[in-house]
Amino acid sequence: MTSRRVLVTGHHGYIGSVLVRLLTEAGYQVVGLDNDLFVNNRFVGQVTHVAGLRRDLRDIAAADLEGFEAVLHLAALSNDPLGSLNPELTYKINNEASMQLARLAKKAGVGRFLFSSSCSMYGAAGPGMLDENAPFNPVTPYAESKVLVERQLTSLEDQDFSPVFLRNTTAYGVSPFMRFDIVLNNLVGSAYTTGKVLIHSDGTPWRPLIHVEDICRAFIAVLEAPREVVHNQAFNVGVTEENYQVRELAEIVREVVPGCVVAYSPNGGPDPRSYRVNFSKIKDALPGFQPKWNVRRGAQELYAACCEARLTLEDFEGPRFTRITHIRKLLADGRLDSRLRWTSTGPVAVPAVSAV
């Protein structure tokens, strides 16, 4: 068993909470850091308890980074709608605070800095397959923030500090801090709660997908790979065979969820966010990365979880599992201020981490 000490930011998020579980199972000593924006929004499944700092990324201090061999940095405003709420704030949280974290990590002697980046930095790309050399074409403040951090992190690399860029494609699957605002989770949730697999476009856009656990397996493979294999490298994180058109995803969901039909939203037209991604690099460079899921099994897992949770339409459509709607509600209720910091009523209402 290893007992290597790592810091995971965003550990009370959709991916981070699964990552903490898999790292702990692999023998890592994990410390988490999160400002707990979504910590009340539990879904099914156990939360793995680790030592945690309830801390805003913007307030990180040198002492927070002492004694880690790696930082796995996931905390962020994590999708396009959240990133567009206030682009200046997105810049401050996703970019400036990430770079401050990286500089402090480097100063503290942390050897590896794994950045949770995104394939969305390739932007509107057409039907061709994108690899890591594809030009960046970010079309939203969120995607722009990922490009900026990658560029700036590169300038910190040296023989003692290895930034690595994990460009995740869209995740799916069950997490204790669930999201239903990502495509496969959304299609299954819609089928379960309404009997309709509701497609919000014309169904033609391409989406590469990966299970949330397999994203975490990629992070662990990067942690365990020889330094020279990952040093200052970008990896698209996904599986080449798992590029789907949205209408294909909907068809799989229809076959998995009993008694539902595929339907198209009346406002749905062509969606410019269509791209196909080649994931050969991670497969060839990191033999330790062994993805275990595919979309059909993921849809079955999601359907079973919806049944276990008895997911209601209100929860499916409301703030509980949709990041932007939840943040809008916290703002409207005065629990977050306009800089997305907890007001005096916020932290009091959030249960202690150990009670989750």
Positions in the binding site for ligand NAD (CB under 6 A): 10, 12-16, 34-38, 56-58, 74-78, 93, 116, 118, 168, 170-171, 177, 179, 182, 323
Least separation in angstroms between CB 213 and ligand NAD:
12
DSSP string, 3-39: --EEEEETTTSHHHHHHHHHHHHTT-EEEEEE--TTT
Complex with ligand NAD: residue 36 or 150, whichever CB lies closer: 36
Complex with ligand NAD: residue 146 or 254, whichever CB lies closer: 146
Least separation in angstroms between CB 232 and ligand NAD:
19
The rounded distance, in Å, linking the Cα atoms of 291 and 289 is 6
Least separation in angstroms between CB 39 and ligand NAD:
7
The rounded distance, in Å, linking the Cα atoms of 228 and 347 is 43
Complex with ligand NAD: residue 183 or 256, whichever CB lies closer: 183
Nearest to 277 by CA among 74, 80, 117, 82: 117
- Neighbouring residues of 258: CB distance < 8 A, sequence distance ≥ 6: none
In which element (H, E) is residue 204 found?
Answer: none
The rounded distance, in Å, linking the Cα atoms of 14 and 48 is 13
Complex with ligand NAD: residue 219 or 260, whichever CB lies closer: 219
Least separation in angstroms between CB 313 and ligand NAD:
22
Complex with ligand NAD: residue 12 or 254, whichever CB lies closer: 12
- 42 CB neighbour count, 10 Å cutoff: 16
